[in-house]
Each structure stands twice: as structure tokens, then as C-alpha cells.
């Protein structure tokens, strides 16, 4: 098993790696290489200041990926730039987004677990796995992952799309999503969220796929379902509007890089296939 915490002396000075260096909530990026900061540590003079705090987050394209948190320090970036995770997501760079998202989860975890929740002593990073441990009481913590369900619902030839508060400004509509509560199964969470947000009952719930979502530490678990009963009735707080949309009158929806976008694509495909079958029949 690879060490999670590596010392700079164990990385060759001429070894090229991908560096994910977080300053505040932004990652240092080389926009000339689609954001990837591919370099040896000698190319990055500030790295050796953090030489005993390098987190090994795995590999991408045959190169090791290392994360460093410089906190609120401003770095002498020269030709380099910084990007937010959302910026990387919106730039449609799926590979960099996935690696940077993983790095950010670890860094956020370290920042928020400096002290033990049980006895208040300082915590230290365990070097063989991603964990923080208290040396006084041995309490150990792992990065938080918050399960969320996301569901695309169809009703005959139409799909349910809703606009939440946070989507109003971007004029975006999407499928429904919500956090799983303690003691709840994923299926129970889907039925509850759908009923709470739009007041309908659903049926034929099927698992679709999942996506880690680093805003800030969710794991989106996607489902597709069909309308069973009830009329749309939004709460007006979390969800501002919701309606059934025909495929040729779709509003602005999330890109396919997000699971929401893929669920919408899948539902459109299911509706089109059914229409085609209907025509043949």
C-alpha cells in the first residue's frame, strides 16, 4: 500500500508529477496545459517549504499526483494561475476535475480536523491511510462523505425539471436531489425527497450510477424513476418551480459532465426509445 503522507526526500528531484496545490479554496493551475500543473518539485520552488506535508492522492496518466495545502499563503506564481474547482468543472476538463476534487476532499478534511472532537487535543495525519488521529485518546477520523440522492423522473413523454434557489441566477433547471438522512435507505431518501420537494409519488425506481461531488463532500447516487401519482406542488422554499417538459422544449440544463446532465440524457433516451417503439407498433 502506498503511503498517504510522503516526504519530499522520497520523491526524486527530476521526477515529473501532477501537483495539486491549494491556496485558500483555489488550486494552482497551468492554463497552458489545460490547468494541469505537471512538474518536478525543483520546478516549483515553493514546494520544499511544505516538504513534510505532501499528500499522495494516487496516479493519473502514469504520473503520481501530490496535493499540498498552503492555507492562506500567497505563492509567487510567476507564469502560473489559480482556478476554483467550479471553474475546472465549468471548463469541462473531466480528468483534472476528478483529480482536483479528490485532492480538495483530503485538504478540506485536514483543515477541519485539526483538533479531536472527543478530547480537544491536536490531531495528526496518519501516514498509511487518509485519516487523522488523536494521540491522546486515539480517536480516529476519516474524510467525510455525505450521501445524496439525485433522481430523474419521467411521466409518459415528459421529464420533470425543477429550479432550486441556487439555480435561479443561472436560469438552470435540473432533476431533484437531496441529502440522505441518518437511518434512511437510498430508496427511502428518494421517495421522501421527491414527495417533499414536488409532492408526487414515484414508481419503478432504478439505480443509474454515482459521482463524487466536491461541493463540499457529497457522493451523488443517481436514480431514474417514473411518475406514479399526484400533481406537482412545489414548496417555494428549496424548489422555486417545477414542471413536466417535452423533449423539444427543454430549458437550460446541467452539462453531461455532471450526473444530473447524464440522468437527463438517459431519460431523454428512454422516452425517445419508447416513442420509436410506439410508432413501430
Q: Which is nearer to Zn ion, 120 or 255 (CB)?
A: 120
Q: Of the ranges 45-53, 73-81, 89-97, 119-127, which one interacts with Zn ion (CB under 5 A)? A: 119-127
134-153 positions binding Zn ion, by CB under 5 A: 134, 136-137, 139
Quote the cell numbers at residue 209: 450510477
Three-state DSSP class for 3?
coil
Sequence-ordered alpha helix ranges (H) in the chain: 85-90, 94-111, 186-198, 259-280
Q: Which is nearer to Zn ion, 113 or 266 (CB)?
A: 113
Write the DSSP string, 5-38.
EE-GGGS-TT--EEEEEEETTEEEEBGGGTB--E
15-44 positions binding Zn ion, by CB under 5 A: none
**Cα Rg of the chain (Å, integer):** 22
- Is 85 a binding residue for Zn ion by CB under 5 A? The answer is no
Q: Which is nearer to Zn ion, 70 or 116 (CB)?
A: 116
CB of 134 to Zn ion, least distance (A): 3
Q: Which is nearer to Zn ion, 142 or 207 (CB)?
A: 142
Q: Which is nearer to Zn ion, 91 or 133 (CB)?
A: 133
**Residue choice 7, 9, 33, 119 for contact with Zn ion (CB under 5 A):** 119
Q: Of the ranges 87-95, 132-140, 165-173, 204-212, which one interacts with Zn ion (CB under 5 A)? A: 132-140
Three-state DSSP class for 44?
coil
Tell me, by CB under 5 A, how many residues bind Zn ion: 8
Cα distance between the two ends of the chain:
57
User: Residues 154, 157, 163, CA angle at the centre, nearest 5°?
Assistant: 50
Is residue 240 within 8 Å of 176, Cβ to Cβ?
no
Three-state DSSP class for 194?
helix
CB of 112 to Zn ion, least distance (A): 15
Q: Of the ranges 120-128, 192-200, 210-218, 237-245, which one interacts with Zn ion (CB under 5 A)? A: 120-128
Q: Which is nearer to Zn ion, 134 or 180 (CB)?
A: 134
* Strand stretches in 34-145, DSSP E: 38-39, 54-60, 63-71, 81-84, 123-125, 132-134, 140-141
Cβ count near 258 (within 10 Å): 19
Q: Which is nearer to Zn ion, 75 or 131 (CB)?
A: 131
Q: Of the ranges 9-17, 49-57, 98-106, 133-141, which one interacts with Zn ion (CB under 5 A)? A: 133-141
99-118 positions binding Zn ion, by CB under 5 A: 116, 118
CB of 190 to Zn ion, least distance (A): 37
Is residue 69 within 8 Å of 110, Cβ to Cβ?
yes
Residues forming contacts to Zn ion in the complex (CB under 5 A) are: 116, 118-119, 121, 134, 136-137, 139
Amino acid at each position: 500500500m502506498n503511503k498517504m503522507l510522503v516526504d519530499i526526500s522520497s520523491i526524486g528531484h527530476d521526477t515529473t508529477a501532477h501537483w495539486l496545490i491549494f491556496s485558500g479554496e483555489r488550486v494552482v493551475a497551468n492554463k497552458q496545459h489545460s490547468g494541469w500543473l505537471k512538474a518536478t518539485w525543483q520546478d516549483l520552488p515553493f514546494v520544499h517549504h511544505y516538504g513534510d506535508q505532501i499528500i499522495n492522492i494516487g496516479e493519473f496518466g502514469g504520473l503520481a499526483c501530490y496535493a499540498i495545502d498552503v492555507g492562506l499563503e500567497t505563492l509567487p506564481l510567476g507564469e502560473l494561475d489559480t482556478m476554483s474547482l467550479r471553474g475546472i468543472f465549468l471548463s469541462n476538463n473531466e480528468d483534472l476535475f476528478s483529480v482536483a476534487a479528490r485532492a480538495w476532499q483530503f485538504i478540506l478534511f485536514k483543515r477541519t480536523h485539526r483538533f479531536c472532537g472527543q478530547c480537544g487535543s491536536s490531531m495528526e495525519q496518519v501516514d498509511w491511510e487518509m485519516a487523522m488521529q488523536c494521540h491522546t485518546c486515539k480517536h480516529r477520523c476519516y474524510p467525510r462523505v455525505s450521501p445524496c440522492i439525485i433522481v430523474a423522473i419521467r411521466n409518459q413523454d415528459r421529464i420533470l425539471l425543477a429550479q432550486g434557489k441556487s439555480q435561479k441566477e443561472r436560469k438552470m433547471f435540473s432533476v431533484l436531489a437531496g441529502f440522505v438522512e441518518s437511518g434512511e435507505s437510498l430508496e427511502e431518501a428518494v421517495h421522501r425527497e421527491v414527495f417533499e420537494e414536488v409532492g408526487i409519488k414515484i414508481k419503478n425506481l432504478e439505480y443509474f450510477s454515482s459521482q463524487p461531488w466536491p461541493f463540499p463532500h457529497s457522493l451523488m447516487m443517481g436514480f431514474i424513476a417514473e411518475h406514479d401519482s399526484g400533481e406537482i406542488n412545489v414548496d417555494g422554499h428549496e424548489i422555486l418551480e417545477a414542471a413536466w417538459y417535452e423533449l423539444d422544449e427543454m430549458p437550460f440544463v446541467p452539462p453531461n459532465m455532471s450526473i444530473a446532465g447524464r440522468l437527463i440524457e438517459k431519460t431523454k433516451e428512454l422516452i425517445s426509445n419508447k416513442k420509436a417503439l410506439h410508432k413501430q407498433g
